[in-house]
């Protein structure tokens, strides 16, 4: 059974973690499959939005602790082989996720714990079901947020709140996550799937070149001074002015119709 499922719906690619019997706990094989899935999605011309979610009741419960306790998996014997390779910058899927120009929506349908929380934080937007819970229990397990959390949390929350979340390790429900700024919205379970679909389709309907460039500039702006960043923005705008999508956007506005962007 594939531990990562891939399904396309129009210009939206769904990537689903697929170990529902253990709430999608991470294995070395799953990480390898997920890394390749992220790369393939970012390279696919027809994919304008990625939705990352989990099968069954959980988003991702983190590393498979039962495997680790038995001396197997990433926390056990795999740490010296496949697990260690995962922690190289070239192979780590959360680094691939951060590099992607295609926007990624985290559809947090259930528990997001440990590595699963880091995966969620790496998404550009997070839509949470009211049944979902964020579980930053790293310190209680004797580890740190090892796959992105130490980078994302201070940027998303500020220093003091990041320390509160990571060092206290308290579980966080969906509405608290929205209040803190770790999720965009919280939905009743009955409305969760339709909300994710609406957000994904709306983004996919916008100009894909512009969407990718917005994400790229946001990412670069985190490490640039304002003047340098403004120069890069100007270069991007001048290039986009030459695109068919920009012409279509102008024409559709003048003609008062819905634009049909081609990503060219």
Residues 178, 54 share a domain: yes
Residues 133, 35 share a domain: yes
pLDDT attached to residue 113: 94
- Structure confidence by residue, pLDDT tens digits, 226-261: 999 999 999 999 999 999 999 999 999 999 999 999
- Structure confidence by residue, pLDDT tens digits, 17-26: 999 999 999 9
Contact 75, 65 (CB under 8 A): yes
Residues 148, 59 share a domain: yes
Residues 147, 115 share a domain: yes
Question: Which residues are bridge partners to 13 per DSSP?
Answer: 8, 50
Look up the pTM and report it.
0.90
Residues 65, 137 share a domain: yes
Residues 183, 240 share a domain: no
- Structure confidence by residue, pLDDT tens digits, 92-126: 899 999 999 999 999 999 999 999 999 999 999 99
pLDDT attached to residue 64: 75
Q: Is residue 62 part of a domain?
A: yes
Which of 178, 204, 230 is where one domain is finished? 204
Q: Is residue 259 part of a domain?
A: no
Residues 142, 78 share a domain: yes
Query: Which strands form 133-135's sheet, in the order they lie side by side?
Result: 111-113, 133-135, 172-173
Mean pLDDT over each residue of the chain, to the nearest integer = 90
Q: Is residue 212 part of a domain?
A: yes
In this structure, are strands 185-187 and 125-129 parallel, antiparallel, or unpaired? parallel
- Structure confidence by residue, pLDDT tens digits, 56-95: 999 999 887 666 555 555 554 454 444 444 444 446 899 9
Q: Is residue 47 part of a domain?
A: yes
Task: Please report the DSSP string for 58-83 in residue order.
Answer: -SB--B-HHHHHTT-STTTGGGGTHH
Domain count, the chain: 2
Q: Is residue 264 part of a domain?
A: no
Using DSSP, state whether 26 is helix, strand or coil.
strand
Does 264 score more than 80 pLDDT?
A: yes
Between 220 and 1, the higher pLDDT residue? 220
Between 31 and 144, the higher pLDDT residue? 31
Contact 129, 105 (CB under 8 A): no
pLDDT attached to residue 65: 67
CA 227 to chain CA centroid, Å, is 29
Q: Is residue 52 part of a domain?
A: yes
pLDDT attached to residue 138: 82
Residues 139, 30 share a domain: yes
Range of the domain at 226: 208-254
- Averaged pLDDT for residues 165-183: 95
Residues 188, 62 share a domain: yes
Strands (E), the chain: 4-9, 12-17, 49-54, 104-108, 111-113, 125-129, 133-135, 172-173, 185-187
CA 229 to chain CA centroid, Å, is 24
pLDDT attached to residue 91: 61
Q: Is residue 260 part of a domain?
A: no
Residues 243, 196 share a domain: no
Which of 162, 188, 204 is where one domain is finished? 204
Residues 181, 224 share a domain: no
Residues 219, 155 share a domain: no
Domain of residue 105, CATH code: 3.90.226.10
- Averaged pLDDT for residues 179-198: 97
């Amino acid at each position: 059974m594939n531990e990562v499922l891939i399904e396309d719906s129009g210009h939206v690619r769904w990537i689903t973690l697929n170990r529902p019997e253990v709430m999608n706990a991470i294995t070395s094989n799953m990480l390898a499959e997920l890394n390749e899935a992220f790369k393939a999605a970012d390279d696919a011309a027809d994919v304008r939005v990625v939705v990352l979610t989990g099968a069954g009741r959980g988003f991702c419960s983190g590393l498979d602790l039962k495997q680790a306790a038995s001396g197997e998996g990433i926390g056990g014997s795999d740490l010296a082989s496949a697990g260690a390779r995962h922690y190289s910058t070239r192979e780590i899927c959360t680094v691939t996720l951060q590099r992607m120009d295609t926007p990624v929506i985290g559809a947090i349908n259930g528990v997001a714990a440990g590595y699963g929380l880091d995966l969620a934080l790496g998404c550009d937007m997070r839509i949470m079901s009211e049944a979902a819970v964020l579980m930053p229990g790293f310190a209680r397990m004797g580890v740190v947020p090892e796959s992105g959390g130490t980078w994302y949390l201070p940027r998303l929350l500020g220093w003091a709140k990041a320390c509160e979340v990571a060092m206290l390790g308290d579980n966080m429900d969906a509405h608290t996550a929205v209040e803190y700024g770790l999720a965009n919205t919280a939905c009743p379970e009955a409305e969760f799937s339709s909300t994710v679909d609406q957000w994904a389709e709306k983004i996919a309907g916008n100009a894909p070149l512009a969407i990718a460039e917005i994400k790229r500039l946001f990412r670069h702006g985190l490490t640039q001074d304002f003047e340098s960043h403004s120069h890069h923005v100007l270069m991007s705008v001048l290039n986009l002015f030459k695109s068919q999508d920009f012409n279509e956007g102008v024409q559709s506005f003048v003609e008062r119709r819905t634009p049909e962007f081609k990503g060219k």
